[in-house]
Amino acid sequence: MKTIAMNQLRVNEYCGVVHIHTTFSDGGVTYPELVNAAKNTGLDYVVVNDHMTLQGKHAGCEGFAGNVMVVVGYEHHDYQGLNHYLVLGTDAVLQEQAQPQEYVDGVRERGGIGFIAHPMERRHYFKKYPPFPWTEWDVTGYDGIEIWNQMSEWVENLRRWTSYVRVLYPRRFLSSIRPELCAKWDELNRERFVAGLGGVDAHTFKFKAGPFRIRIFPIKVELKGVRTHLYLTTPLPRDNWPAAERQFLDALRDGRGYVSNYRRGDASGTSIFLETQDGSAVLPGRAGSVVLPPARIHVRVPQPAEIRLVCNGELLDCAKGERTEFAVDSPGVYRVEVFRRARAWVYSNPFPVGRYPL
Residue 100, strand partner residues: none
Site residues for Zn ion, window 109-168 (CB under 5 A)?
117
Which region, judged by CB under 5 A, interacts with Zn ion, from 70-78, 169-177, 245-253, 289-297? Answer: 70-78
Site residues for Zn ion, window 163-202 (CB under 5 A)?
201
Number of C-beta neighbours around residue 259 at 10 A: 24
Q: State how far the Cα of 86 lies from the Cα of 88, in Å rounded to an integer.
A: 7
Give start and end residues of each alpha helix (H) in the chain.
31-40, 55-58, 100-109, 150-156, 163-168, 179-189, 219-222, 241-253
Which region, judged by CB under 5 A, interacts with Zn ion, from 69-77, 97-105, 204-212, 267-275? Answer: 69-77
Q: From residue 147, how far is each of 132, 150, 172, 252 by CA, in Å?
A: 14, 10, 19, 13
Q: Which is nearer to Zn ion, 115 or 326 (CB)?
A: 115
State the minimum distance, in angstroms, from the CB of residue 276 to Zn ion. 39
State the minimum distance, in angstroms, from the CB of residue 205 to Zn ion. 11
Binding flag, residue 249, Zn ion (CB under 5 A): no
293 neighbors 358 (Cβ within 8 angstroms): no
Residue window 10-39: x/- pattern of binding to Zn ion, with contact defined by CB under 5 A: ------------------------------
Which region, judged by CB under 5 A, interacts with Zn ion, from 74-82, 204-212, 215-223, 297-305? Answer: 74-82
* DSSP line for 283-304: -SSGGGGG--SSEEEEEEEEEE
Give the H/E segment covering residue 211: none
Say if residue 284 is preceded by a cis peptide, omega within 30 of 0.
no
Q: Which residues contact 138 (CB under 8 A, 6 or more apart)?
A: none
Q: Which is nearer to Zn ion, 200 or 358 (CB)?
A: 200
Which region, judged by CB under 5 A, interacts with Zn ion, from 80-88, 171-179, 187-195, 312-320? Answer: 80-88
Task: Tell me the residue nearest to Zn ion as measured from the CB.
Answer: 84
Size of the site for Zn ion (CB under 5 A): 4
Q: Which is nearer to Zn ion, 57 or 340 (CB)?
A: 57
Which region, judged by CB under 5 A, interacts with Zn ion, from 2-10, 31-39, 78-86, 169-177? Answer: 78-86
Q: Which is nearer to Zn ion, 42 or 81 (CB)?
A: 81
Q: State how far the Cα of 283 lies from the Cα of 303, in Å rounded to an integer.
A: 21
Residue window 198-227: x/- pattern of binding to Zn ion, with contact defined by CB under 5 A: ---x--------------------------
Q: State how far the Cα of 358 lies from the Cα of 187, in Å rounded to an integer.
A: 10
Q: State how far the Cα of 270 lies from the Cα of 266, in Å rounded to an integer.
A: 9
State the minimum distance, in angstroms, from the CB of residue 56 to Zn ion. 14
Rule CB under 5 A: which residues touch Zn ion? 75, 84, 117, 201
